[in-house]
Structure 1
Amino acid sequence: MTLQQLKYIVTVAECGNITEAAEKLFIAQPSLTSAIHNIEEEMGITAFIRSNKGVELTRDGETLLSYARQILEQTDVMTEHFKGERNQKPRFSVSCQHYSFAVNAFVDVIREYDADAYNFILRETQTYEIIDDVAVGRSEIGILYLSEHNEAVLSKLINKNDLNFEELYIAKPHVFISNNHPLANKEEITIQDLMPYPYLVFEQGKHNSFYFSEEFLSSLEFSKNIMVRDRATLFNLLIGLNGFTVCSGIIDTELNGENIISKPLDSDCSMRIGILTRKNSVISRYGVSYLNVLKNHLSID
């Protein structure tokens, strides 16, 4: 199998359509279809299920895609090492929970590797998708937290996908509220204090259980619950409805706004924030830089 064939696999998977992939690769559709068939025969698998709507990866196809991306990424690392950056277009991707420090670190990496052209991706997404993104190679690094509430389930899923979890920071749970919230003047907030107010959480799709929740109190019952999909909506509702959410407490006024404040939550538990990477993979220079600035942001905050 050649590197070009591996690029075919990745492009078809990303496009979900043979015709679109062929156009992107500048080859004829029959030639691409034939190449995919040859790869499947060589590997003894069916990588794609074909339909009138396009193509979808099978489970074997997902595994093949993961290996293909790893090989191509390692080839890029090798090329960069021996040829330098001049002929390389920077490529880097991160999947994370909704953390301001993850965004700030991403900005720093882009500034460090500012170039005429680059492909950088930051995906603030659902917890299950973070694990899946790193497992299949959509992202080089994932960022999430483990705690006594979710560790058994998430660690099993992490190990099943041949991933490593590296702890970077231990955070005590905090409450995000608006600076005009009735609880804004309290030095520390209790769970009982929060009971009358709307609890805002990030929606987790079909994996919407407290094991996959970004918020620390999702195993508890609150009478008022609101699910959202993005950071801006959550913060608008915090302000407009005197709502609250529970997180690490690391806050950035430029991203979160001056109207959002963080208060310690009365709890004996902790959040172990860390990164996910694929086992036995070499992190790119962009990944190394990202981890360095990420640790700096965590230590500063």
Structure 2
Amino acid sequence: MRKEQLFQFIEVVDCGSINKAAEKLYISQPNLSCSIHALEEDMGKALIIRNNRGVTLTPTGKMLYYYARSILNQFQVLERLKELDAEQIYSQLSISVDSLFLKDDMILNFYKRISSAETEIKFLETTAEEVLQNVIDMKSEIGITILNNYQLSIFKKMAEVKDIEVQILGSGPLYVHISENNPLAHKEIVNIKEFFEYPRIHLPYDFFSNLNLSLSIDGFALSEFKRSIIMSNYHAIINMINHADALMLGNKWQVEELKYSHIKSIEIENSGITMNFVIIKRKRDTISNAGQVFLDILHENYDYI
């Protein structure tokens, strides 16, 4: 059984007769009949029934027709693969993210731009410490985290030792994220002491978040919050802010995206804390095409904020 025989068999079925198929294929009717007969001998069963109106399929012929179309489609895919380079065939995006609700359409835009036959997207929401470690261990090609100046100075030293490149996309003030229904949501700027009674949500503790325990905001230590909620799922965090009257300390790059979830972001008065948008990758590795496409989209979405 040859690919050419399957192709000719499909043409006979689609045309409804051997004569019409022979004309379309530019071969003689006897040669096409011989090809179909040889295929029937390979199958050990009749495939078509000839009559005055053309041909009809036997039960075996019907099954072969559908399988043959599928097989030939796969051959077409293989032919296209020969014309594609490696990145057009397969692309992988592997990123680790901390303290940032990425805009919903960023991954969709990435997929539209990459144009690969197969695209794998590995997206991990985790802590700053694991973001750094994942890039070091090559589990992620790109790491994104938001760090204050105190955390950043130590982060840079640890990254340098491991040959990790650190890029600062931008800096901004500290924000508090609360539900639009919170009594303080009408304010444009707030004092951190106004939230003393509210539960504070934060990601699981790691080396860098532990550094914040010694920080004070306008004389108020973060450790003084009466209640805290530790969560690792960003969508669950949003739900808790809206329905448990909780708060989360954050940054300006979260503001626009959180608006869609009915969360108000307010700058904290006299915080004395600067937040930094940090992107990391391995220094000695050339960034993949997929990684570069994602970085371009990242800059397009956050450079102007």
Q: What TM bracket, shorter-length normalisation?
A: 0.5 to 0.7
Instruction: Specify the SS of the correspondent of 2:150.
Output: coil
1:159 paired with 2:165, answer no
Structure 1 range deviating more: 109-118 or 172-181: 109-118
**Structure 2 matches for 1:90-239, cutoff 5 A?**
90-101=91-102, 104-204=105-205, 207=207, 209-211=209-211, 219-239=222-242
Q: What residue identity is the alignment partner of 2:267?
A: P
Are 2:99 and 2:250, in contact at CA under 8 Å, matched by a contact in 1?
no
Q: Which runs of 4+ in 1 moved over 4 A?
A: 215-220, 252-256
Instruction: Specify the SS of the correspondent of 2:224.
Output: coil
Q: Which residue of 2 aligns with 1:284?
A: 288
Are 1:150 and 1:210, in contact at CA under 8 Å, matched by a contact in 2?
no
Q: Which residue of 2 aligns with 1:241?
A: 244
Q: Which residue of 2 aligns with 1:262?
A: 265
Instruction: Specify the SS of the correspondent of 1:119.
Output: strand
Structure 1 range deviating more: 106-115 or 83-92: 83-92
Q: Which residue of 2 aligns with 1:78?
A: none
Deviations 1:1-22 (A, max 9, x none): xxxxxxxxxxxxxxxxxxxxxx
Instruction: Specify the SS of the correspondent of 2:90.
Output: coil
Are 1:94 and 1:141, in contact at CA under 8 Å, matched by a contact in 2?
yes
In the TM superposition, what is the alpha-carbon distance from 1:185 to its structure 2 partner? 0.5
CA distance in 1, matches of 2:177, 2:185: 10
Instruction: Specify the SS of the correspondent of 2:254.
Output: coil
Q: Which residue of 1 aligns with 2:72?
A: none
1:274 paired with 2:257, answer no
Are 2:179 and 2:262, in contact at CA under 8 Å, matched by a contact in 1?
yes
Are 1:216 and 1:247, in contact at CA under 8 Å, matched by a contact in 2?
no
In the TM superposition, what is the alpha-carbon distance from 1:220 to its structure 2 partner? 4.2
TM-score for both structures, normalised by structure 2: 0.64
Instruction: Specify the SS of the correspondent of 1:180.
Output: coil
In the TM superposition, what is the alpha-carbon distance from 1:236 to its structure 2 partner? 1.4
Unaligned runs of 5+ residues in structure 2 are: 1-82
CA distance in 2, matches of 1:134, 1:209: 19
Instruction: Specify the SS of the correspondent of 1:251.
Output: helix
Deviations 1:258-277 (A, max 9, x none): 32121111123211112011
Change (3 A) 1:126 1:102: farther
Change (3 A) 1:258 1:216: farther
Are 2:151 and 2:208, in contact at CA under 8 Å, matched by a contact in 1?
no
CA distance in 2, matches of 1:281, 1:102: 27
Q: Which residue of 2 aligns with 1:298?
A: 302
CA distance in 1, matches of 2:88, 2:184: 55
Are 1:189 and 1:264, in contact at CA under 8 Å, matched by a contact in 2?
yes
Deviations 1:191-240 (A, max 9, x none): 111112111101136x4743389x99785421111111111221111112
Structure 1 range deviating more: 133-142 or 260-269: 260-269
In the TM superposition, what is the alpha-carbon distance from 1:104 to its structure 2 partner? 4.2
CA distance in 2, matches of 1:203, 1:257: 25
Are 1:210 and 1:219, in contact at CA under 8 Å, matched by a contact in 2?
no
Are 1:199 and 1:224, in contact at CA under 8 Å, matched by a contact in 2?
yes
CA distance in 2, matches of 1:254, 1:248: 11
In the TM superposition, what is the alpha-carbon distance from 1:98 to its structure 2 partner? 3.7
Equivalences, count:
218
Q: What residue identity is the alignment partner of 1:131?
A: L
In the TM superposition, what is the alpha-carbon distance from 1:251 to its structure 2 partner? 3.5
State the identity as a percent: 21
Q: Which residue of 1 aligns with 2:85?
A: 84
Are 1:165 and 1:275, in contact at CA under 8 Å, matched by a contact in 2?
yes
Unaligned runs of 5+ residues in structure 1 are: 1-81
In the TM superposition, what is the alpha-carbon distance from 1:186 to its structure 2 partner? 0.8
Are 1:135 and 1:163, in contact at CA under 8 Å, matched by a contact in 2?
yes
In the TM superposition, what is the alpha-carbon distance from 1:144 to its structure 2 partner? 1.0
TM-score for both structures, normalised by structure 1: 0.64
Are 1:178 and 1:184, in contact at CA under 8 Å, matched by a contact in 2?
yes
Change (3 A) 1:108 1:240: same
Change (3 A) 1:250 1:203: same
- Which has the higher Rg, Structure 1 or Structure 2? 2
Are 1:176 and 1:249, in contact at CA under 8 Å, matched by a contact in 2?
no
